[in-house]
Amino acid sequence: MSLFEVRVQAGPFEIGAEQARLSALTPEVGAVVSFTGQVRDAPLLLEHYPGMAEREMEALLADARARWPLIGAIIVHRHGPLAVGEPIVLVLTASSHRRAAFEACEFLMDWLKTRAPFWKKDALGWVDARDSDEQAAARWD
Amino acid sequence: MSVRLVYFAWVRERIGLSGEEYPLTQSLPAGELAAKLRALSAGHAEALTDLSRLRLALNQQQVGWDALVSPGDELALFPPVTGG
C-alpha cells in the first residue's frame, strides 16, 4: 500500500488527520515528516492556475519518488484570501527511515515554491519571486 | 482557428482579463505571439513590454519563448510563481 496525493483547496486542512493517513499505510512506515507553511506578517490573497497547479505538484511527487524510497506523500496547497497565522501549504512524506522522509519533504517544498503556479498578493501588491527560493531549489539539481 | 490565452496575477490585472481567444491560423513562437498581443490594448502593451519579467506555460507545461504555439493550444502568461 502506498498513498501519493496532491490537493488544491480554499478551506483549511487537518494536519493530524492527513498525517494519520500516512502513519497507518503499512507496518514499513517508520518516519513521517510534516511541513506546514503559514501566513506571516500580513494577510495574503493566493491565486493559482487550476489544473496546471495540480499537474506540477503531481510531477514533483513523481520526481521525489524517483529520488527517495517513499511509501507515501501528500501535498495540500490553499488558495484564496488567508489571514495571518493561517496555514497555506502542507507537505507530508512517509518512508521507512527518517533521512528519506526529511530530505524528500524539503525537496518538495523547495520545488513547490519555484514550480507550482501560485501567486501571492498582499496589501502592497503582488509579491516578487525571490532569488533565494531559486537557489534553494537549484541545490537539488 | 484561435489560441486560448490565460493570464494570472499582475498580468491579468494589467490586461483586465483573465483570458481571451486570439485568432491564430498557423504555428508561431510564443515570443512572436506575445509581441503581436501588445497591439491589442494599452494594458496588453504594459503587461507584455518586458518578457524577461514573465513566465509562460503551453498547454499547462512550462516552456520558453521559443516554444511553438499552434491553433487550439492554451498559452498562459504570468509572473514568476510565489507559492508555498
**CATH number for A75:** 3.90.1170.40
Tell me what pLDDT residue A134 has: 87
Q: Could you give the CA distance from residue B6 to residue A35 in angstroms, rounded to a whole number?
A: 31
Residues 6+ apart with CB under 8 A from A124: none
| ipTM of the modeled complex | 0.95
Q: Select the residue from A58, A126, A130 to test the B interface by mutation, using most B Cβ atoms within 10 A.
A: A126
pLDDT surpasses 90 at A10? yes
Q: Is B18 on the interface with A (CB under 8 A)?
A: no
A45-62 mean pLDDT: 98
**Across the interface, which of B9, B60, B84 has its CB nearest the CB of A89?**
B84
**Closest-CA residue in chain A for B82?**
A119
Question: Is B68 within a domain?
Answer: yes
Tell me which residue range forms the domain holding B28: 2-78
Q: What is the pLDDT of residues A83-126, one digit of tens each?
A: 999 999 999 999 999 999 999 999 999 999 999 999 999 999 99
Smallest Cβ–Cβ distance between A112 and the set B9, B78, B83 belongs to B83
Q: Give the gyration radius of chain B's Cα atoms.
A: 12
Percent of chain B clearing pLDDT 70 (strictly above): 100
Q: Is B45 a member of any domain?
A: yes
At B34-55, the pLDDT tens digits run 999 999 999 999 999 999 999 9
Number of domains in chain A: 1
| Residues contacting residue B36 through CB under 8 Å, at least 6 positions apart | none
Domain that includes residue A61, residue range: 3-138
Distances (CA, A) of A45 to A4, B14, B43: 27, 17, 22
* Amino acid at site B70: S
Mean residue pLDDT across chain A: 96
* Domains contained in chain B, number: 1
- Return the percent helix, strand and coil in chain B, to nearest 5: 30, 30, 35
The answer to whether B76 faces chain A, any CB pair under 8 Å, is yes
Given an 8 Å threshold on Cβ–Cβ distance, is A113 in contact with B83? yes
